Amino acid sequence: MLLKNNNKIDESNIPGHIAIIMDGNGRWAKKRGLSRSIGHKEGSRTLKKIVEACYKLGVKYLTVYAFSTENWSRPREEVDDLMKLLLEYLKNAERELKGKNIRIRVIGEKKNLSEEIIKEIERVQKNTEHIKGLDFIIALNYGGRQELVEAVSNIVKDVKSGLISEIDEDIISQRLYTSGIPDPDLLIRTSGEMRISNFLIWQCCYTEFYFCDVLWPDFNEDNLKEAIISYQGRQRRFGGVK
């Protein structure tokens, strides 16, 4: 496939794990004189398309940042609308993704989420847990620091009870929500912001970052391919020499 910069995607070097900070819904709406919630609705349409695009490209893991532990500080109405949208998304996800081998998981703190959402998360996770293909991971009420605090608390308990005696990187990785999931190869953030905003702070230690100005509701398959092409032009050294 040829993109506007005339570069071709290398089908043999697709990042195994792509993480996305889906940012810019509010600004997208503001530019059009619409409410922020309409921006989020449009953003959820983009998400459906990007999940399918990743699936087609053969990506193994896709993790998207849907709601951070800091997003509770937004106006009540916006938080309510976001939660409604997420609930709707989870309810429809299986039907929409039917026929495709996509497993859905949700990572983040369950505390503070409504019973209805928790039930829906459990249902969709259980119904898709046997599926091998694309692992689609939604970070909802997720915070990287919160995740580490929880992991450390669990480790301390296990040390006290004698279950573990030494702490290493693997022990920490295994206690994170992402246990068993390889670290992201590529992290994409839309909307021009260049920060990590408490997303996968442990897991992204050697991830390649790609920032683009496109607002999330406008992000499309070609933008995704551009990000992958940029990734394919990088030299990953992991601290070594090449």
**Catalytic residue annotation:** 23, 71
Kindly indicate which of the ranges 64-72, 94-102, 164-172, 205-213 contains the residues binding ligand IPE, using the contact rule CB under 6 A: 64-72
Sign of CA dihedral 18, 228, 190, 100: negative
Tell me the two tokens of residue 201. Answer: 């702070």
Q: Name the minimum Å distance from CB 21 to ligand IPE.
A: 5
Residue 62 binding result from ligand IPE, Mg ion, none, given CB thresholds of 5 to 8 Å by partner type: none
Eight-class DSSP state of 211: E
Residue 44 binding result from ligand IPE, Mg ion, none, given CB thresholds of 5 to 8 Å by partner type: none
- Toward ligand IPE, which CB reaches closer, 19 or 53? 19
Decide if residue 191 touches ligand IPE (CB under 6 A): yes
Residue 82 binding result from Mg ion, ligand IPE, none, given CB thresholds of 5 to 8 Å by partner type: ligand IPE
Contact set with Mg ion (CB under 5 A) = 23
Dihedral (Cα; 79, 104, 108, 163), 10-degree rounding: 160
Cα separation, 53 vs 16, whole angstroms:
14
Residue 137 binding result from ligand IPE, Mg ion, none, given CB thresholds of 5 to 8 Å by partner type: none
Cα separation, 51 vs 48, whole angstroms:
5
CB atoms within 10 A of CB 89: 19
Decide if residue 193 touches ligand IPE (CB under 6 A): yes
Residue from 35, 71, 174, 232 touching ligand IPE (CB under 6 A): that is: 71
Cα separation, 166 vs 65, whole angstroms:
32
Place of tokens 């090449």: 242
Residues engaged in binding ligand IPE (CB under 6 A): 21-27, 65-68, 71, 82, 191, 193, 195, 197
